Structure 1
């Protein structure tokens, strides 16, 4: 994990909140659950491109602020009757710091 990118402390994201990280190839939403789990998904709803980082976090899911689609933060899959998915990305927490996989910026372009 020595080459992973430090994007900030876990306390920079409120519980049940998110932070948008801009990479050279797109925006990624990084979420913190009430239980301090950290997830990263593309910051674009599969339905109408809504900014997921501005959505409501509940459990390990986020509701898009535009049309209420719900996405599982671990898998990126739409929940309920909705179909579709968003990309998920590898993140880790080490000593209170959130780290992103180094290939993350490249993966966002695919």
Structure 2
């Protein structure tokens, strides 16, 4: 695991390390929502998963954790799209050209 050791100190650090462990296990081309990750560690704290990813998730496949709508993290859409295309993640496109991940096909259950 390659995250900052400061993230593993105390109860909050334990939460972060569990989040990152789940994210590291998501296979290429698959995704989990923030809520899915929270549920995988026995929590309902989807927003806390988002915070953990924002502060400590840069060394893991952050693009594989998305919003419940199927959209990637705000302001990271272009970078996520590049990763999705490389990995063959199933996407859907709106008439206006906005994409989202097809959760029916791409959702990973740990």
Q: TM-score, normalised by structure 2?
A: 0.25
Of structures 1 and 2, the larger Rg is shown by 2
Higher helix residue share? 2
Bigger fraction of residues in strand:
1
